[in-house]
Amino acid sequence: MNYVDPHIHMVSRVTDDYEALARMGCVAVSEPAFWAGFDRRSADGFRDYFRQITEVEPRRAAGYGIAHYSWLCINAKEAEDVKLAREVIAAIPEFLSASNVLGIGEIGLNKNTRNEATVFLEQVELAVRHNETILIHTPHLADKLRGTRMILDMLADFPALDRGRVVIDHVEEHTIRPALDAGYWAGMTLYPVTKCSPERACDLVERYGTERLLVNSAGDWGPSRPAAVPDFIVAMRARGHAEELIERMVLHNPLELFSRCRRYVPPPRIGNPLQRTTSS
Amino acid sequence: MTRALSDQRFLAIRSLVVELSAAFDRVERHAAEESVELDDDIRWRLLAEAVARLAAGPGRVEAVQELFSDAYEPAWRQTGGPELFGSPGCCGR
Ligand SMILES: [Zn+2]
């Protein structure tokens, strides 16, 4: 089955992963800007990283027939240094016209600190100013519930924001409902130990339906499985779910979200499956 | 065959419960060997409470998830204060 992984950090993955993803039907990936495992020392460090995810990774992906999209921001962990964060925010517009950029992300909270909240708000303002879609990281463990609610509180102060162009990512059972109820997209991340498992992601699809719901691997430099989306496909099939419903989750939904970015060009290998579905 | 409790699902859940039981026994055995007082450890108390919530009935996963979560204060922006900022966490990260 053709599928999209809407959250994966390919800068941290080897080329063999691109090949494995292509073999399993991956037609596109989207790569949010994140914490690379170490704190960068200058805004120029981020400029180099933004070049990597707007120039280098798209080339690597294209070698395997995979479309590569990206999101730009300063992540919550490095946002603790507000001065550096503001320099990076000022640099982001230099890269917003790159053809593979979908929007601003993954912004959010990590430890739910005051500085993180300040930098989060300034990046939402940046996205609003430039009419960009937004991808939001929610915290990992004990801080997830509080951090997700704080993020939703802050977003509520932007009444003009189109909620259908914003993703609340890494939702679990205790955070999915407020995100969907407020009209946002919700992303389920399949991780080996934390976040969701494929079985629990299937449970959430059965309980909440497929509308505005995404599934991703968030594959990166830590324990993670780049093939997690195919694991979800297999788990859904084992429960007897229709191919059409599974395809909506792993292909149509992410592409529908991406298409809300004005620069979006469909993955060359498959074109626009949404159009085919609606006309047939 | 019903999927509610298929043989495959029974075996999967049985395995999880056996693993969970063995993990609790393992922690207690090692704590005894190392003379560690588990009841002083908030993480152990959380795990014990989680098992109690597991036995309580529907809504288990939300109940367990909330147990492992920091409290959310809806008025966090008005009341301010450092206690609302920064996560104490429970896993030593
Ligand atoms: Zn990420």
Flag if A174 and B66 touch (Cβ within 8 Å): yes
C-alpha–C-alpha distance, residues A212 and A253, integer Å: 7
What tokens appear for A2 in the block?
């053709």
Collapsing DSSP to helix, strand or coil, A33 comes out as coil
Grade residue A158 by pLDDT with cuts at 50, 70 and 90. very high
Site from B87, B90, B93 to mutate, A interface, most A CB atoms within 10 angstroms: B87
Q: So what's the pLDDT on residue A280?
A: 41
- Which residues have C-beta within 8 Å of that of residue B30, sequence separation ≥ 6? B36
Q: Compute CA A209 distance to the chain's CA centroid, rounded to the nearest angstrom.
A: 19
Mean pLDDT calculated for residue range A211-235: 95
Contacts with B, A 229-258, CB within 8 Å: 239-240
C-alpha–C-alpha distance, residues A8 and A160, integer Å: 29
Grade residue A139 by pLDDT with cuts at 50, 70 and 90. very high
* Percent share of chain A, pLDDT over 90: 89
Mean pLDDT calculated for residue range A129-155: 95
ipTM of the complex: 0.86
Tell me the fold of A3-279: TIM Barrel (3.20.20)
Rounded distance from Cα A103 to ligand 1 centre (Å)? 14
The H-or-E segment that residue A72 falls in is: strand A67-72
In chain A, where the domains are located: 3-279
Q: Is A112 within 8 Å of chain B by CB?
A: yes
Closest chain B residue by Cα to residue A195: B65
The H-or-E segment that residue A166 falls in is: strand A166-168
CA-based Rg of chain B, rounded to a whole angstrom?
Answer: 18
Which residues of B lie inside 8 Å of A (Cβ-Cβ)? 3, 61-62, 65-66, 68-74, 76-77, 85-91, 93
pLDDT of B7-56, one tens digit each? 989 999 999 999 999 999 999 999 999 999 999 999 999 999 999 999 88
Dihedral pair phi/psi, residue A96, rounded to 5°: -65, -15
In chain B, where the domains are located: 1-36, 41-93
Q: So what's the pLDDT on residue B78?
A: 83
